[in-house]
Structure 1
Amino acid sequence: MSATTPSHPAPVDRAELLADPYSVYARLREAGPVHRITGTDGLPAWLVTRYDDVRQGLADPRLSLDKSNATPGGYHGFALPPALDANLLNMDPPDHTRIRRLVSRAFTPRRVELLREPVKRTADTLLDALAPLGRADLISAYAAPLPIIVICDLLGVAPEDRQDFRSWTDALVAPDPARPEQAREAVRSLLGFFTGLLAAKRAAPADDLLSALIAVRDEEDRLTEDELMSLAFLVLVAGYENTVHLIGNATLALLSHPDQLAALRADPGRLGPAVEELARYDGPVPLAVRRFPVEDVTIGGVDVPAGETVLLSLAAAHRDPRRFTDPDRLDLGRDAGGHLALGHGIHYCLGAPLARMETEVALSALFDRFPGLALDLPPDGPQRRPSMRSRGLLSLPVRY
């Protein structure tokens, strides 16, 4: 993609951005707070790079998530059917407030803490299977299945229905530009999956989140059918997608910084704050969900017209030296409070308590079980997924 400030051209190579996003964002951030870019879809957008502007933008009610506020002919993104598109990532208040309130009780810190022991048992079971092998890909064998199992258990998705979920989600979130049919097929498969899942839950309700949401729809009439299916879709996809990448990125960061890992081993009580620094250092979401100004706005001294696409770069904000001292250094002793990896404002990640707890459990169980854990990477380094909106690993080979 290409980028400019209103008066300073700054070309950006997509391959370079995928290979080394933090260096690219650093160059843009120091060149100016806001850049006019041409995205990979060929459409224009405004990229915001500095911490204060990004944080303010995340909470600015003038920046809408509702695609109906986009300029005609502007951003279109990947087209989802209405049954999957009526979700919180496309909504503003009051609909956003209404729907978020219906599901938020399942993700309070108190309720999530009750899940810690079951999550620990799941992590131990996965590690039991790895123990005799000596080598493994931690993404496919641990970081990915753990959050899938946890969120599917919470929603009430049977084990036999989980097999294809990861491949569908990957095809949707990080589509291969050379094979657009994969994303379309993933959408069809996900729509069929959720249609069947809701029918099964209606026929045989259980003590799970999805059955409770169906009751809200059918008995209390507080959700439309599209909102119900879209909410189930979002909870399942987001509950998997961001957590697997947070666990994977955090594990890679710790194994790549043995001094920091040693400090954490010496003081396991610092794991909670360490997860905050790991999320800041290499979080799973480089760009927040696109936004559309409902009126002309000024961001970082740059005038942005109503309806145009605004991209808030969390990755650039997290390495902004105006906010974090020596930001390119992983420092588990740092107070990383105020990081934006899980959002800010009314769109703050609904599942943030669950993602934090799962990452704490996953890292603690992994490094306790395998004290000699070491990277076993190919010569060209870790393999990352080809996406600018989701930063995650395709694989993480290790030995132990």
Structure 2
Amino acid sequence: MITTKPLSFYDPAFYQNPYASFQRLMEKGEIHYVKFPSGVCGWLVTGYDAAMKTLTHPNIGKNHKLGNAHWRSLASIMPEPQHTTLQSHLLHQDPPRHTALRALIMEAFSASRIDRFRERIALIAQRLLEPLQRAGECDLIADFASQLPLLVLSEVIGLSDKHRIQFKPVWCKVVQPVGPNDVGRAAYIGLLTELQSYIDTVIVESRGGDSDRLIVQLIAAYDGKKISRDELTSVLFQLLVAGQEPMTNQIGNAMLALLQHPEQLKQIREDSTRIDRAMTELLRYDGAFALSTWRFFTETTQWLGATVFAGDSVIVGLNAANHDSAQFGCPHKLDFAREPNKPLSFGYDHHYCPASALARLELEVSIQAILEYLPNIQLACTDRELRWINAVLARGLLALPVRYTLGASRS
């Protein structure tokens, strides 16, 4: 029987090692009533099979309008007009509108097109890493992983150099809203206002540009009345903001895993034929999306042994599913030979991440570049000294201090 008294386990120990908590939950069942840090009470699904069933359930939607009053008061708290103009993107849409919006960006993120950016991404990585060589130590998050995603994204979606330079990294923090009574609420609204103004400027100044640029294509879709202004602004918001921090986190998580497993690091360095399977395993081992975004049953449903009322929030534990021993033998082991290996790191079904090919390529190129330009790299702190982002959905490091052999800059 599922208890309706919410569990609360989000504390420093959880962020340090969420997999221990996920393991305990999976041993108790597939669905759990949980109190999240915001105060929202909802249902957390753990286990691989349960996750797959939930992600494909025909009566689950992602539109915020489906959420109940409790959820809207604590989680759906981005104020108007920003909530309307910035929250109509793919993550908060259901078919058929989701299908139409997704179709507009799929070609730009297709595997065949993304692979053409390999050399360009490698050059960007080189330019970020070469200045670090002589120092012998750095913070891989601040000095590399937090900078690379915007540079790469600008190339892929066609963000001009002017607009790239104008983009403020702090704007990415708006995906972590603060409540109406939070002392940081005014500053948060200020960031939202700045970001919306920036996106409006990008739209005005990009209209009529090179039609090969995704940004220009999206503006043309709006001008052709295929999408609304709110949808245009929201999709650009999702591309520019939601597309950066997860990549930063994934590079950091993957590099930490390799630094903690020197034999696997050696395998990647010495045998490039392993790289594709290695990327899949690194994504499974410690993914940047710990949990999925919110979902809601459209009607009261008996699900996995619990009564989930219409409008209750449901979240899928992606990283929990990726460490389910029923699906992955020795799940806490980093194993590049793992077979089969089909993690849920990018979600599943029609909400599978459309930019997964870009994410995999960025991760692959970044790791190879780090190992090349920062030779003999080692972790420069203890595991206990690592600090993790205090976020519900995301899994990532605040800093990743490393040391490496001094090297001269390459010509």
TM > 0.5 between the two?
A: yes
- Provide TM-score, normalisation by structure 1: 0.93
Contact 1:106 1:209 in 2 (8 A): yes
Q: For the Cα contact (< 8 Å) 2:171–2:241, is it kept in 1?
A: no
Are 1:260 and 2:257 counterparts?
no
Aligned to 1:133: 135
Say which of 363, 376, 379 aligns to 1:375.
Answer: 379
C-alpha separation between the residues in 2 aligned to 1:86 and 1:363? 34
Q: In the alignment, which of 295, 299, 319 is matched to residue 295 of structure 1? A: 299
Matched residue pairs, number?
Answer: 396
Which runs of structure 2 are paired with 1:46-85 in the superposition (5 Å)?
46-75=43-72, 76-79=75-78, 80-85=82-87
Deviation at 1:378, TM superposition (A): 6.1
Partner of 1:25: 22
Gap regions ≥5 residues in structure 2: 405-411
CA–CA distance in structure 2, aligned partners of residues 336 and 284 of structure 1: 21
Contact 2:287-2:345 at 8 Å conserved across structures: yes
Spell out the pairing of 1:10-21 with structure 2 (5 A cutoff): 11-21=8-18
Whole-angstrom CA distance in 1 between matches of 2:51 and 2:92: 19
Q: Is the 8 A contact 2:7 2:33 kept in 1?
A: no
1:222 lines up with 2:221 in the alignment = no
Match of 2:99 in 1: 97
With 178-187 and 111-120 compared, the bigger mean Cα shift is at 178-187
1:36 and 2:33 matched: yes
Mapped pair 1:386 → 2:390: yes
Taking structure 1 as reference, are residues 183 and 140 closer, same or farther at Cα in structure 2, changes over 3 Å only?
same
Report percent identity of matched pairs.
32
State yes or no: 1:173 paired with 2:172. no
The residue number in structure 2 matching 1:202 is 207
Q: Give the CA deviation at 1:278.
A: 0.6
Contact 1:292 1:308 in 2 (8 A): yes
Matched, 1:326 2:330: yes
Structure-2 change in CA distance of 1:372 and 1:178 (3 Å): farther
Distance in 1 separating the partners of 2:2 and 2:17: 21
SS of aligned partner of 2:107 = helix
The residue matched to 2:138 in structure 1 has which SS?
A: strand
Partner deviation per Cα, 1:149-170 (whole Å, 9 max, x = no partner) = 0112222323343355321103
1:350-365 alignment runs, 5 A limit? 350-365=354-369
Tell me, in whole angstroms, the C-alpha distance in 2 between the residues paired with 1:330 and 1:17. Answer: 20
Once the two structures are superposed, what CA deviation does each residue of 1:15-67 show, in whole Å capped at 9, x if it has no partner? 33223211111111111211112222223201111111111211222110011
Within 2, Cα distance between the matches of 1:371 and 1:156?
33
How has the CA–CA distance of structure 1 residues 19 and 379 changed in structure 2, closer, same or farther, with 3 Å as cutoff? Answer: closer
1:190 to 184, 195, 210: 195
Q: Which residue identity does 1:46 align to in structure 2?
A: W
Q: Sort the Cα spacing of 1:182 and 1:324 in 2 relative to 1 into closer, same or farther, 3 A.
A: farther
Change (3 A) 1:358 1:6: same
CA offsets 1:330-349 (integer angstroms, 9 cap, x no match): 11221363200101000000
Q: Which runs of 5+ in 1 are unaligned?
A: none
Which one-letter code corresponds to 2:203 in the other structure?
Answer: L
Aligned-partner residue type, residue 208 of structure 1 = R
CA contact 1:22–1:319 (8 Å) conserved in 2:
yes
Task: Please point out which of 312, 315, 319 is paired with 2:319.
Answer: 315
- Matched position secondary structure for 1:363: helix
**Would you say the 8 A contact 2:208–2:216 is kept in 1?**
no
User: Which moves more between the two structures, 305-314 or 167-176?
Assistant: 167-176
TM-score (norm 2): 0.90
**Cα deviations across residues 105-164 of structure 1 (Å, max 9, x unaligned)?**
101110011111111111111122222221111112211211110112222323343355
**In structure 2, the residue corresponding to 1:131 is in which secondary structure?**
helix
Find the aligned partners of 1:192 and 1:297 in 2 and give their Cα distance.
42
AA in 2 matched with 1:109: A
1:77: how far off?
2.9
Aligned-residue RMSD, C-alpha: 2.2
For 2:222 and 2:321, locate their aligned partners in 1 and report how far apart those are by CA, in whole Å: 39
